[in-house]
Structure 1
């Protein structure tokens, strides 16, 4: 598995907040899914409330 850095923004109460997460995953698509699932479970956000700007290996 490789380590990916996922960057983007999520819709908080005060407006859009930037984030940067390091995720171990098989490929970029799996890394995106892990980030979206994490924001959904921890913050109760829907996928439309998270914008992923980039995934770097």
Structure 2
């Protein structure tokens, strides 16, 4: 497994907020899916409310 840094923004109550998170995954697509799942679970956001701009391997 590799470590990926996922950057983007999500829709909060008072507008869009930037985020950066580290995720362990097998490839970039899996890291992207984990990011969507984390924001959906923690913040109750739908995929359309999360805008991932960059997935970078560390």
Q: Shorter-chain TM-score: what band?
A: over 0.9
Alignment partner of 1:33: what SS?
A: helix
SS of aligned partner of 1:45: coil
Unaligned 5+ segments in structure 1 are: none
The answer to whether 1:4 aligns with 2:4 is yes
User: Do structure 1's residue 31 and structure 2's residue 31 form an aligned pair?
Assistant: yes
**Is the partner of 2:40 in helix, strand or coil?**
helix
Following TM superposition, by how much is the alpha carbon of 1:45 offset from its aligned partner in structure 2, in angstroms?
0.2
Q: For 2:56 and 2:38, how far apart are their aligned partners in 1?
A: 18
Provide the TM-score with structure 2 as the length reference: 0.97
Q: Over aligned residues, Cα RMSD in angstroms?
A: 0.3
Unaligned runs of at least 5 residues, structure 2 = none
Q: What does the per-residue CA deviation read over 1:1-55, in whole Å, with 9 as the maximum and x for residues that have no partner? A: 0000000000000100000000000000000000000000010000000000000
Matched residues, number: 57
